Chain A
Amino acid sequence: MSARKPEKLRFLRVFRAAPLAALIACSGEYPQTTFRTVTDFGQSLNDLFGRVFWWTIPILVLVEVVLLFVVIRYRRRPGGPTPKPVHGHTGLEMLWTLIPALIVVAIAVPTVQTIFATQRRAPDEALMVEVVGHQWWWEFRYPEQGVVTASELHLPAGRPVHLQLRSVDVIHSFWIPRLGGKRDTNPRPAREGQRPKLNHLTFTVSQPGSYLGQCAEFCGLSHAIMRMRAVVHTPEQFEAWAQRMQAPPAPPAGTLAERGREVFLRSPCIACHTVEGTTARGVIGPNLTLLGDRATVGAGALANTPENLARWIRDPGGVKPGAMMPGTRAPGGGLPPTGLNDADVEAVVAYLLSLRSGE
């Protein structure tokens, strides 16, 4: 899908697609920019935007220039002539109805083409990922690999991806700008004998990398902290990641991490969290397998450092208002406080951070 075009043409495409990007100070680093997309999907949206931009901006410039001219040229001057009471001019009015009408045709045609092209059915070889919105975090399920993770959407580059979007509570919107446009995750009724109406996104990522995104449909208290990132691997790395997820490492005996594992497995944590390969099988909260690999905790609320992780476990609601997880002292998510003491927390942090793919 990500057709390799000759370099020359590619340059032209960038020119057309990123008209505004050229205008802004290029020095800044904008991880959620919509201009530098890395998928075929994103590219076709930007191509369309570029077209609409170049068809419409001249009208804007024309109106503003004429306005400025009129304001300067026809300002009232003492002794100036009395204006002629012109009531209209059919020819002119036809002209400025017809020209916009033609412009509308010029942008409607590629719009409709792009609408149908970007909503085609996903190809059979596409990697299917179920995207599930929760207040206020993202879950990603890989039925093919039998893997579930949260906050970080792992994808292979070069292979078509088919995202199937839904929500377990309110409406959210999945948006990682550099991967292309957003799509709502709707909680739809599942009527008997009917498949629930799901939303879909299909695209192929062209370059490995890390791409930031966040929920784009207002979903309540901590909507602003419902963030995520796409971690795009080479196909080999992706396979390796999926295998790790199926069978994560256990902490070596005698370490703090091992004690942490015990604490974790006898705490209420397991009512909500899963760690693959353990007795923790809760599904209310994010899957914590390979948590040590994640860049953030709390769906982008904090960087994933030992101190921050401890802070999160002690008081998630203080870090992220409304977080549906109990702290050590405060209830949350419908459960009483976990009551872990500082040593317990320290051990659990060591355990969770030890859940990583090595290196």
Chain B
Amino acid sequence: MAITKARAATVTAGPHARGGIWSWITTVDHKRIGILYGTSALVFFLVGGLEALLIRAQLARPENGFVGPETYNQLFTMHGTTMVFLVAMPAAVAFFNYIVPLQIGARDVAFPRLNALSYWVFLFGGLFMNSSFLLGQAPNGGWTGYVPLTGPRFAPGLHIDFWVLGLSMLGISSILGGVNFITTIINLRAPGMRLMRMPLFTWMTLVTSFLLVTAMPVIAVALILLIFDRFFGTSFYAPAGGGDPVLWQHLFWMFGHPEVYILILPAFGMVSEVIPTFSRKPLFGYAIMVYSGILIGFIGWGVWSHHMFATGLGPIADAFFAIATMIIAIPTGVKIFNWLATMWGGSLRFSTAMLFAIGVIASFTIGGISGIMHSAAPADLQQHDTYFVVAHFHYTIFGGTILGTFAGIYYWFPKMTGRLLDERLGKWHFWLMFLGFHLTFFPMHWIGLLGMPRRIFTYYDELGLGSLNLLATIGAFTQGVAVVLFLWNLLRSRRHGVVVGPNPWNAATLEWSIPSPPPEYNFAVIPEVHSREPLWERREATPAPPAPEPAIHLPPPSHWPIVVAFGVLLTFGLFLANVWWVPLGGVALVAFGVMNWAFEPGH
């Protein structure tokens, strides 16, 4: 297509450092920030995966002495925290960053420097939390951080300090990101890109962003109260001082349940891009897919206490939350049926991306069904806090989010690099991971119903659960092999993968109309959109390209985002000193950075 061949000479902007570390540190280009997010998420994925393997090694047989409880409790806490906040979320944000502006025909996000800031705050928060391992004081209160176990009385030391402070930083980063993507999607769409023409992935990004800006403040409140309890001696959660630990559970899950939709909706969006492309059919029931996503986002706010059926809230609350939870299954089911209908009558090509998307349907459905089993509150009293729940949420978060993200990676990698990921290695990766995943988590349904609670560093031989646990461990290591293959594929294909043009999959959405990888300015000419599948419509008659625009303004790089982010890190990090005025040093740096940011020329 001619419009993709516009010369870079038309770009006018400040000096862009093309390579080198400095250019990455100061970048405000959404594509580069996307790659930073993705790479960081991948590294944290390896860390969280290693933690998972250590956990499974310990549980391989009953009464095992591989790691003791002290280490084990840190491992499962950091595994959960890492996979949720440092892997699944940033991996989705990587795609928001890279793909959404391309899908809506924009040249960048609405607030490029804010975008950089949210990345650096995320990175510093993640590194800060993990640095606790160096002191041997990693968080150890579970990713749900229930008080009073995480309060000052029962959790002395730095473990939980690292956790509350690190999470607070991640929350800031997420809120900034959410604001940015809402603005971008609402304001920067190309002409003709009406809301109901937006690709499903962009739609799910929009819904997720609304969830981010609304749910993150809730956990911020929960964390701030805990910070006060831990550092300033208040007793919001301490029963001895009149506080109520159940308050934490409400706040945490009021955030936590929207959070699970923050985790799954982006993956749903990716699957909804991949399946039509490789079925050569438009998405079945586009409008219903959009509305069901929005509905899930709304109802997701009214189900939080289904995590608390054993807490003792009384029959009225239990009944309300049970019913709300069952209702949310309906729009979720609709999505699955619509994917099947999209594939029905299609011409399916089993690329690796498509295999992962199909894997999502096959696996997530199992997680959805076990979720309905949990929603029957009394039945949940036997399932809650057992391995049955562990099975359930891995079927949704791994079977949905992680497999979905892999579908996204195989699908969009050629857009980002101009080369395909190797398909043969990809298929090995898929099958090993898919089988390993089911081998790990399917037995856990039984392990739980046969009486094994979660979060225990050892279990006794007399429970009779040794062989099922061994099976799960074998599955986990199979997945480990799959991840190694994926890494190898990634490293190799980046240099030696098959070179491709703008649209290797013959997909329908705008990001495939520009070169792979896209030029810095994305679109030489902002396209005009006439339908939901612009590239499929154009297949017959390509209209003559409009004349290139005379000049494209791109924001120059800026180092103020990383300076401000560093100030945020200092502010929270210095809390560890436990002297109230010390963190003000960080606040001063933030103020200094923000001032300079505000008056930076060229923006």
Q: A residues touching B (Cβ–Cβ < 8 Å)?
A: 20, 24, 28-35, 42, 44-46, 48-49, 52-53, 56-57, 59-60, 63-64, 66-67, 70-71, 74-77, 80-89, 92-93, 96-97, 100-101, 104, 107-108, 110-112, 114-116, 118-119, 135, 165, 169-171, 173, 175, 177, 180-184, 186-191, 197, 199-200, 212, 214-225, 227, 300, 321-322
Contact = CB atoms under 8 A, between A and B. Distances in A.
A184 B284 contact: no
Nearest to B281: A83
A75 B323 CA distance: 39
Contacts of B379: 45-46, 48-49, 52, 111, 114
B232 interface: no
Interface string B445-467: 11001111111111110111100
B344 A115 contact: no
Contact of A219 (B149, B451, B465): B149
Residue of B73, B149, B345, B380 most packed against chain A (CB within 10 A): B149
B246 interface: yes
A74 B333 contact: no
26 contacts: A30-B464, A31-B451, A46-B379, A48-B379, A49-B373, A59-B369, A60-B365, A66-B340, A71-B343, A74-B343, A74-B344, A82-B347, A83-B345, A85-B282, A97-B330, A101-B330, A104-B329, A107-B376, A118-B378, A171-B148, A177-B451, A182-B385, A183-B312, A218-B146, A224-B69, A227-B460
A49 B382 contact: yes
Contacts of B373: 49, 52-53, 56
B286 A187 contact: no
A114 B378 contact: yes
B453 A104 contact: no
Given A49-B379, A216-B453, A56 B462 contact: no
Contact of B358 (A52, A67, A108, A111): A67
B12 interface: no
Interface stretch (B90-98, B237-245, B476-484, B515-523): B237-245
A356 to B, nearest CB: 22
B358 A63 contact: no
B385 A220 contact: no
B326 A108 contact: yes
Nearest to A75: B348
A81 B347 contact: yes
B136 interface: no
B464 A70 contact: no
Among B312, B340, B341, the one with the most A-chain Cβ atoms within 10 Å of its Cβ is: B312
Contacts, number: 284
A83 B382 contact: no
A199 to B, nearest CB: 4
Interface in B146-161: 146, 148-149, 154
Contacts of A225: 458
A228 to B, nearest CB: 13
Contacts of A165: 312
Interface string B253-282: 000000000000000000000000001111
A224 B279 contact: no
Contacts of A186: 245-246, 311-312
Contacts of A49: 373, 376, 379, 382
Nearest to B288: A93
A74 B450 contact: no
A173 B310 contact: yes
A322 to B, nearest CB: 8
Contacts of B347: 74, 76-77, 80-83
Contact of A173 (B245, B385, B465): B385
Given A76-B348, A87-B284, A115 B69 contact: no
Interface stretch (B188-196, B313-321, B433-441): B313-321
B469 interface: no
Contacts of B349: 76
A48 B457 CA distance: 31
Contacts of B330: 97, 100-101, 104
B69 A221 contact: yes
A329 to B, nearest CB: 20
B142 interface: yes
A187 B245 contact: yes
Given A60-B369, A181-B310, A218-B146, A84 B358 contact: no
Contact of B285 (A75, A93, A200, A221): A93
A88 B284 contact: yes
A262 to B, nearest CB: 35
A104 B327 contact: yes
Contacts of B450: 24, 30, 32-35
B384 interface: yes
Given A60-B369, A63-B361, A181 B326 contact: no
B68 interface: yes
B463 A119 contact: no
Contact of A92 (B240, B341, B369, B381): B341
A33 B573 CA distance: 46
A96 B287 CA distance: 15
Contact of B315 (A97, A119, A224, A322): A119
A321 B70 CA distance: 8
Contacts of A108: 322-323, 326
B362 interface: yes
A22 B388 CA distance: 17
A59 B333 contact: yes
B275 to A, nearest CB: 11
A71 B348 contact: yes
B548 interface: no
| 4 A-B pairs with the lowest CB-CB distances in the bound complex, closest first | A32-B451, A181-B381, A224-B456, A199-B312
Contacts of A170: 146, 148-149, 154
